[in-house]
Amino acid sequence: MTGMNKNQEINTVKKTATMKMLMSYLKKHTLLVVISILLALASSLTALLVPVIFGDAIDCIMDDFTLLPMMLMMGLAVVLLTALMQWIMTIVNNKITYEVTKDIRNDAFEKIQKLPLAFLDTHSVGELVSRMVADVDTLADGLLVGFTQAFTGIVTIFGTIYYMWTLSRMTTVVVVCVTPLSLFVANFIAKHTHDLFVEQSLTRGEQTALIDEMIGNEKVVKSFGYEDEALERFNEVNDRLAGCSLKALFYSSTVNPSTRFVNSVVYALVAFVGAFRVIGGHITVGSLTALLTYATQYTKPFNEISGVVTELQNAFACASRVFALIEEKEESNIEISIAFTAPADEGSTPMAGQMPLKGTLRGDVDIDSVFFAYVKDRPLIENFSLSVKRGQTVAIVGPTGCGKTTLINLLMRFYDTDKGRISVDDEDITAITRQRHRSRFGMVLQETWIMNGTVLDNIRIGRPDATREECIAAAKEAHAHSFIKRLPKGYDTILAEDGGDLSVGQKQLLCITRVMLALPPILILDEATSSIDTRTEIRIQQAFHKMMEGRTSFIVAHRLSTIMDADIIVVMRDGHIVEQGDHNSLLKKGGFYKELFEAQFAH
């Protein structure tokens, strides 16, 4: 029992936090909210005049028939005015809803740009997409229903009580006494459906993640005959989603028939009591007709509000997931003033389309006693130290899983070290903003990324202000110009997401072109030519050598033939540097590097 109370307390706290977040977004549109409330008030009050007018019209049939046309015209005018105000209110409510959801999506997407890779690595793409798309859509539906029905419903309830009181106090007392029963039923069911909607939202996110994973890797699925297993996994998640959705909808749908039963009881009591009041001569037939209409209008908002409660439970469950994303802890982003001591362009040779190095960055990199682990109880890099001087080329080699790419992640501050210090020109990299730090680096990864846009747009990612001529010059240096010219519209060809019909090698050439264009002070090449043919690779290596003149460069490579000219070859094994030196000295040592070299070149 204590555990259940604790869970209820946690859910209450979450709902309160979600409501506060939602209210903070609504505050930005206070004027529209006020207009919506005023329109709800006005349209509800005018709608409540209609039963009185038509009740008087019925009495006119019996007393003074000549007044009937005027009463009917008055009723028609009130109906048209009510309809106009409800139409305007609907437009305002839509504006509020979609402005709020736009703001939420903007904040969620902005948050994703600021989240550490540790978070993104532990959350599937599909699950995050589900939060930003499906959950926000559900929240929008809940808000729209809430604004459209909640305000008008509340005004209608109190308005009908007032008008019924003026017609027959006894009947009004009977109606009000039965009302708590309807509220109790709706509240009881709503409390028990929230957890089910949370489960539904989580399962839907899991399903979206699975669909994204399987469709995004359909070639691999088909290549390995994984279709049946993929279908089995999907069916399992889909069955769970169907089950929890059915439960949530079943329990939530019991609200409406339950409240309708109470409403029918209310209507019957009004008819019963009202009939005796007419017989006793206390009220007229027209007044009874108005009372019956008010009884229907009075109970209708309870049906709508019960539906609103169901929608809002679902909306809050989804909103809590979106707001949890928005409130995730961001990467630390400290910035202080920095002064570098030596001119960066000293000794460098600009190439065609090259930007000179900016500022006074030398490019000295020092890694001092660094410890790091992705999982705290499974250390990966331990007591790692390395000193690199400006203009040196450092090759990092070793078996899979030894920490090569992890070292690059630490250099780029995709992850922060657990212990130790990494500095550039004797300045700790944690002392400046990540964006400023990363602007010093140019990086080409084994995994390519091509965005939806033109070829020029993709090349300009690192330098948005680059001219067309500079982009073409960089493409020529990267040996991408020839295949770009063969595209339907050359550099103006629009590429689909992830490169469309481009080969893996062509996409990698575009990624190399980006770095050729930006030419930052420090270069990182992580298997940058892994998907390129040998002939093109030789040409690109020549371009790299030209580009790396005067620049500190880090090269991660499995093919040792590509790094034999490196100034320093760092040999890693199990997160430690086991050997360090140039190619010839390492071969003479006859250690682990020689084993790797002979393993690759043995025939």
Q: What is the pLDDT of residues 338-349, one digit of tens each?
A: 333 333 333 333
Question: Taking Cα atoms as reference points, which of 185, 184, 189, 182 lies closest to residue 269?
Answer: 182
CATH assignment at residue 458 = 3.40.50.300
Tokens 């025939």 identify what position? 603
CB atoms within 10 A of CB 360: 15
Residue 182, H or E segment: helix 169-216
Helix and strand counts by DSSP (H, E) for the chain: 21, 12
Residue 264, H or E segment: helix 255-279
**Would residue 406 count as lying in a domain?**
no
User: What letter would DSSP give residue 404?
Assistant: H
Last residue of a domain, one of 295, 326, 357: 326
Is 394 in contact with 548 (CB distance < 8 Å)?
no
Between 272 and 531, the higher pLDDT residue = 272
Q: What is the pLDDT of residues 186-216, one digit of tens each?
A: 667 666 676 777 788 788 878 888 887 787 7
> Percentage of residues in the chain with pLDDT exceeding 90?
2
How do the residues of the chain divide into helix, strand and coil, expressed in percent and rounded to 5? 65, 10, 25
Measured between alpha carbons, how far is 480 from 317 in angstroms, rounded to an integer? Answer: 49
Domain around 485: 447-518
Is 51 in contact with 163 (CB distance < 8 Å)?
yes
Q: What are phi and psi of 578, to 5 degrees?
A: -95, -25
Measured between alpha carbons, how far is 92 from 87 in angstroms, rounded to an integer? Answer: 9
Residue 545's pLDDT is 75
Measured between alpha carbons, how far is 360 from 358 in angstroms, rounded to an integer? Answer: 7
Is the pTM higher than 0.85?
no
Question: Taking Cα atoms as reference points, which of 47, 51, 46 lies closest to residue 286?
Answer: 51
Residues 319 and 172 in one domain: yes
Question: Taking Cα atoms as reference points, which of 570, 520, 562 lies closest to residue 406?
Answer: 570
**Would residue 113 count as lying in a domain?**
yes
Measured between alpha carbons, how far is 404 from 579 in angstroms, rounded to an integer? Answer: 14
Q: What single-letter amino acid sits at 510?
A: L
CATH assignment at residue 162 = 1.20.1560.10
**Would residue 69 count as lying in a domain?**
yes
Query: What would the mean pLDDT of 110-123 be, rounded to a whole number?
Result: 80
Strand 419-424 with 365-372, pairing:
antiparallel
Is 443 in contact with 526 (CB distance < 8 Å)?
yes
Last residue of a domain, one of 518, 548, 570: 518
What the block records as the tokens of 373 is: 């682990």
Residue 84's pLDDT is 92
Residue 162 has pLDDT above 50, yes or no: yes
**Would residue 142 count as lying in a domain?**
yes
Question: Taking Cα atoms as reference points, which of 6, 51, 308 lies closest to residue 154?
Answer: 308
Measured between alpha carbons, how far is 33 from 84 in angstroms, rounded to an integer? Answer: 18
Q: What single-letter amino acid sits at 139?
A: L
Lowest mean pLDDT segment, chosen from 290-299, 322-331, 360-369: 290-299
Burial (CB < 10 A; 0-12, 13-18, 19+), residue 464, is exposed
Lowest mean pLDDT segment, chosen from 106-115, 275-284, 408-417, 561-570: 275-284
**Would residue 480 count as lying in a domain?**
yes
**Would residue 395 count as lying in a domain?**
no
Q: Quickly list DSSP for 305-340.
A: HHHHHHHHHHHHHHHHHHHHHHTSPPPP--------
User: What letter would DSSP give residue 357?
Assistant: P
Last residue of a domain, one of 304, 326, 348: 326
Report the number of distinct structural domains present in the chain. Answer: 2
Tokens 């103006």 identify what position? 492
Task: Give strand ranges (E) for 479-518.
Answer: 494-495
Is 241 in contact with 197 (CB distance < 8 Å)?
no
**Would residue 550 count as lying in a domain?**
no
Q: What is the pLDDT of residues 59-101, one digit of tens each?
A: 666 666 667 777 778 878 888 998 898 899 889 888 888 888 8
